[in-house]
Amino acid sequence: MNAPAPLDTLPAHRSLLAHAARLRDIHLRELFSREPGRAQAMSAEAHDLHLDFSKQRVDAAAMGDLLALLGQSGFAARRGAMFAGERINVTEDRAVLHVALRAPRGTVMRTGGRDVVPDVHAVLDRMAAFADEVRAGRWRGHTGRPIRAIVNIGIGGSDLGPAMANDALRDFAAPGLDFRFVSNVDPGDFAWKTQDLDPAETLFIVASKTFTTQETMANARTARAWSLAAFGGDERSVARHFVAVSTAADLVAQFGIDPGNMFGFWDWVGGRYSMDSAIGLATMIAIGPDAFRDMLAGFREVDVHFLEAPPERNLPVLMGLLQVWNTDYLGFGAHAVLPYCQHLHRFTAYLQQLEMESNGKRTQLDGRPVSWTTCPVVWGEPGTNGQHAFFQLLHQGNVTVPADVIAFAEPNADSLGMHDMLFANAVAQARVMGFGQTADELRALGTPEHLVEHKVMPGNRPTSFLLCRKRTPRALGRLVALYEHATFTAGALWNVNSFDQWGVELGKKVCGTLLPMLDGPRQPAPDASTDALIARYRAWRGRA
């Protein structure tokens, strides 16, 4: 694959700068007035996902040049190379083939000359058999009692994905099973998550590809000691209360876990793209193998759409283009994701890793520094809670934050008829962000003059509305795949490697060098500030 051209050398780049200068002073009210069919023209739909981007600060001419930019970039070749199993993660010399995790049985997807789909389904089948055993109460703990609580121990992609999915699909979960997620190395996290659990009925899933992840293994050792204490130190109990998601069979066995209860995945699966691999074991136990496979089918539908739909009707491509437009041409440094669904309260946290760990980069694929912004800060909370927290800034702050509003048309449960209120709030907030409220409108409503300026809402905040039909396992798969591929699209235009995370790795290494300085003989730290902080810490811990 030829090296793609930098963003600022593409022919459409200069045109887009001109479009941005032209549109910067045009309000969405004017754009809607000029373009009577704008709401229909700037929407797209696939697989019960409806994207309305008509309230983005873009017009047909700018969209045309964004699509031209896409065609001039290396996007199409890079997308094809990903699906073909080529090693597009150039800094780690790895393929990026998470799309194979949801490929139907019998599909052929190769990397390194090997069709990986049979391997994927072999693991899925083993996961399904194990999940059925736990769900049916046939998997027994060391004392013969069935499992009632499952605790997933992981961090990053080994935590955010399954934790988000379990909350998103909680009402599809098996009754009688309790799911907890431990990730932080803060000892209070483990203590809090296990304080009311019975070790005899608790199963731990330790999720670490190498079985060496610092935080995960610290928590795993804590869990092992906690569990062993309940069984009088009997090491045989570990095999009945711990399973692993890993590829390090020797280390798993040393820990005391039966390697037959190790569920593997592959180096072509990045952590933040792994919730549909064995990393999702807790999710499969919760919702069952059939529902988990339905979630995979949702992923697959959007994979095929991303690969085959024309760019102007391709949902993830449009979302990726709009992120580049808002970030690099309109100059907005943040992006809010606002799900109007309490079950998706961890969805934005999941996207923070997906997007910022993928595209928060300072170098192009060939190692040259970028001269453009590569990723906004992603943040947000569910509505309507967020309306009473930070929406004030979104509406009247002197910074502009583009937003995605996510809502569902059909409720999963609504005995009191509250879903209409929820949806009305979502649409109302998107409307106010887009159109605001003028001084003249306020005066017409009889607002006292001294309050008019306080109540003016400027509007013109770029907003996309993503309407999904109903929250189901399949819908969640579609939604996650949509953002995965939007992230890929933006990363391809920014010409960065969206699949490494060296900033994360460096922090771990530095921690390893500082940890011995906190106890034992005093050693100087590598800089004055760190040395002073360690000195204060040691003094307060009585280690001076």
As annotated, the active-site residues are 357, 388, 508
Among 479, 378, 386, which residue's Cα sits nearest to residue 429? 386
Region of 203 please: left (phi>0), alpha (psi -120 to 50) or beta.
beta
| Helix locations, 436-523, DSSP H | 439-444, 449-455, 473-494, 502-514
Token pair 């121990």 is found at 153
Q: Helices 315-324 and 473-494, interaxial angle, to 10°? A: 40
Token pair belonging to 458: 């400027």
Give the Cα separation of 182 and 163 in Å (integer).
9
Q: Which residues contact 111 (CB under 8 A, 6 or more apart)?
A: 85, 86, 87, 95, 97, 100, 268
Q: Where are the alpha helices (H) located in 341-438, listed in sequence order?
A: 347-351, 358-359, 391-396, 419-435
Residues 329/15, Cβ–Cβ less than 8 Å: no
Q: In what order do the strands lie in the sheet with 149-153?
A: 178-182, 149-153, 202-207, 242-245, 262-263
Gap between the Cα atoms of 83 and 219, Å rounded: 36
* Sign of the dihedral defined by the CA atoms of residues 467, 473, 476, 477, in that order: negative
292 contact partners, CB below 8 Å, separation of at least 6: 127, 128, 131, 280, 283, 284, 473
3-state class (DSSP) for residue 97: coil
Q: Are 439 and 370 in contact (CB under 8 A)?
A: no
Pinpoint the alpha helices (H) of 244-312: 249-255, 281-287, 289-308
Q: What is the rounded radius of gyration, in angstroms, for the C-alpha atoms of the chain?
A: 25
Residue 349, both tokens: 């946290």
Burial (CB count <10 Å: 0-12, 13-18, 19+), residue 136: exposed
Of 335, 352, 471, the closest CA to residue 401 belongs to 335
Greatest alpha-carbon pair distance for the chain in Å reads: 78
- Whether the link from the prior residue into 384 is cis, omega within 30° of 0, is yes
Angle at 273 between CA 270 and CA 277, to 5 degrees: 95
